[in-house]
Amino acid sequence: MVNQERELVLRPSAGTLLESMRDIGYSFDSALADILDNSVSARARKVEILNGLDDRDKPYVAIVDDGHGMNSDELTGAMRHGSRSPLATRTEGDLGRFGLGLKTASFSQCRRLTVVSRKGGETHGRRWDLDRVVETDEWLLRRLDIHEIGDLPCIDFLPATGTLVLWQALDRLDAEDLSPGKLSEALNELFAGARRHLALTFHRYIRPEPSDSDLLPVEISINGFPIEAADPFALHMSPTSDSHEIACLTAGDSQITAQAFTLPHHSRLTPTQLENLALGTSLAEAQGLYIYRAKRLINGGTWLGLCKRSEMSKLLRVRVDVPTSLDAFWGVDVRKSRIRPPAAVRSRLRPLVERMTQSAKRPYTYRGRRQVQEATLPMWDRVEERGHIRYLINRAHPLIEGFKLVDEDFSRIESILAVIEASLPLEAMFSDVGSHPQNVRQSDFDEAQLEQLLLTYVGIMAPNSDRLPAAVYKQIKSAAPFKDDSRVHRILEKHRMIEDQ
């Protein structure tokens, strides 16, 4: 009850508030994702995203789902700003947060929001027109009649049970002076980025992971073309990732689950697989925590300050599942695109992340050890001393030893080697291997070049010998650049240099 003497009812200006709420940070991609949250919460199995031009050549965006739909009162309630309290307990599959997403996401992109829903054989429509609200400065929600509903774009796509969300007056498209053809191009460009965003954000709904047995697949399409799920953990490809640790953190009555995945080394992946796993950036930039709320991605590719990005940990991705019951503690924002773990959780996550990053370094560590063991003629030595690492040319390599045989004053050669060692382009190498490892390759030799280089090796390692001892042959076959090159054996056979094995 209002105390008339001490309390004033101070209602906000409808027009001013709605105009202000248009700029709370939504991108086109995140706005679309917020609308799809409602479809998923409504247990939709199919969501169609459509765009085009209406009969007046004005662009529109429509989202149609086959969820449980709403009756008249439910639809009116859904159109209310703040229709659900963020403090209310939500069911596990409810992706909502503040009861604002439908409105704020829509108004961030358009000035006219229409929602039509069917349930129990009835069809109802409601519309927020921002220009009308500004004109009257009143919260005027229009109730559409059956004729107005029938004239809406994409109404024929609405199934017997489901909901249509329609964006019109797309003033944020910056397309007022564009021809219809240019408008269509602008929409297609906008939706190309949205496709990638939705493929990652809802990948566990589009293609449930083996651990998501409680989820039924949701088919999401744009203009009739299905969106394929992005696979940040390489669970649906071959080779698959290495799942090496699962940890559960208890917070009150709720449980947070973290699982670490180490992606396959880039040498085992095709260029297409590498591009898909880079998620539009690079493997190094896409490492880190992937935090899910009700199995919908909120934030991905960040360590949240728990550790630094590292070339050695670029294959590590940690899936963190947070229940909706912990929204307030994790600071989930209106857009559901930012999350802030509480200090108590961060302190427990930090040692977990440190342990996981150490495990993720094994593909590199083990590869390095194998190369040292197998390559009996390494050209480079890795030297670690006093906390520093240097790469030095192996002075015991047969080619270097060969220089000593033909040049008594080896000091000149030593000076050249020292300059080469000091001139390694380490920063460029680090950047190239980190961002595009599949493009980094050593020199390719044609057969004539390979033959000349091979005979030089043989002349140094087995001088004055017509036949190559088996032990020397094995050494040469294990050394770069001859390792794994099938032409080496053929060339040596041609010169009759291979002893009977």
* 375 pLDDT more than 50: no
Measure the CA–CA gap between 303 and 357, rounded to whole angstroms: 11
Lowest mean pLDDT among 121-135, 307-321, 351-365, 376-390: 351-365
Give the model's pLDDT for residue 176: 66
Give the model's pLDDT for residue 404: 66
Give the model's pLDDT for residue 273: 92
State whether residue 124 is helix, strand or coil. Answer: strand
- Structure confidence at residue 368 as a pLDDT band (50, 70, 90): very low
DSSP label at residue 463: T
Tokens of 21: 């709420």
- Structure confidence at residue 194 as a pLDDT band (50, 70, 90): very high
* 96 pLDDT more than 50: no
* 373 pLDDT more than 90: no
Q: What does the pLDDT look like over 428-456, one tens digit per residue? A: 877 777 666 767 777 677 888 888 887 87
Q: What does the pLDDT look like over 125-144, one tens digit per residue? A: 999 999 999 999 999 999 99
According to the per-residue pLDDT averaged within each range, which of 19-23, 104-108, 183-187, 331-335 is highest? 104-108
- Structure confidence at residue 97 as a pLDDT band (50, 70, 90): very low
Burial tier of 336 (Cβ tally within 10 Å: 0-12, 13-18, 19+)? buried
Give the model's pLDDT for residue 343: 80
Interval 93-97 mean pLDDT: 48
Q: What does the pLDDT look like over 391-431, one tens digit per residue? A: 888 887 777 777 766 666 677 888 888 888 888 887 787 77
DSSP label at residue 281: S
More confident residue, 469 or 189: 189
Q: How far apart are the first and last CA of the chain?
A: 100
* 79 pLDDT more than 80: yes
Of the candidates 230, 293, 301, which has an alpha carbon nearest to the alpha carbon of residue 101? 293
Residue 203, CB-side half-sphere exposure with 13 Å CA sphere: 25
Q: Give the domain ranges of the chain.
A: 14-221, 231-363, 377-441, 444-501
DSSP per-residue codes, 125-180 = EEEEEHHHHHHHTS--EEEE-HHHHHTSTTGGG--SSEEEEEEE--GGG--TT--H
* 98 pLDDT more than 70: no
* 367 pLDDT more than 50: no
Give the model's pLDDT for residue 99: 55
Q: Which amino acid is at 491?
A: I
Give the model's pLDDT for residue 469: 74
Measure the CA–CA gap between 465 and 459, rounded to whole angstroms: 8
Give the model's pLDDT for residue 362: 57
Residues in the chain, overall count: 501
Exposure string for 103-128, b = 16+ CB within 10 A, e = fewer: bbbbbbbbbbbbbbbbbeeebbbbbb
Lowest mean pLDDT among 156-170, 240-254, 271-285: 240-254
Is the peptide bond prior to 425 cis by the omega test (within 30 degrees of 0)? Answer: no
Q: Where are the beta strands (DSSP E) in 306-369?
A: 316-322
Give the model's pLDDT for residue 372: 42
Exposure string for 1-13, b = 16+ CB within 10 A, e = fewer: eeeeeeeeeeeee
For the chain, percent of residues with pLDDT exceeding 70: 84
State whether residue 456 is helix, strand or coil. Answer: helix
Q: What does the pLDDT look like over 226-236, one tens digit per residue? A: 999 999 999 99
Residue 92, CB-side half-sphere exposure with 13 Å CA sphere: 7
The H or E element that residue 287 is part of is none
Q: What does the pLDDT look like over 110-127, one tens digit per residue? A: 999 999 999 999 999 999
Around Cβ 44, how many Cβ atoms within 10 Å?
Answer: 26
DSSP label at residue 465: -
Give the model's pLDDT for residue 13: 93
Kind of pairing, strands 316-322 and 254-262? antiparallel
- Structure confidence at residue 335 as a pLDDT band (50, 70, 90): low
- The answer to whether 323 and 278 have CB atoms below 8 angstroms apart is no
Rounded to two decimals, what is the model's pTM? 0.73
What's the mean pLDDT when you consider all of the chain? 83
For the chain, percent of residues with pLDDT exceeding 90: 40
What CATH code is assigned to 231-363? Answer: 3.30.230
14-221 domain in CATH 3.30.70?
Answer: no
Residue 389, CB-side half-sphere exposure with 13 Å CA sphere: 4
* Backbone angles phi and psi of 93, in degrees to 5: -90, 5
Around Cβ 14, how many Cβ atoms within 10 Å?
Answer: 17
Measure the CA–CA gap between 495 and 468, rounded to whole angstroms: 10
More confident residue, 365 or 457: 457
Measure the CA–CA gap between 419 and 423, rounded to whole angstroms: 6
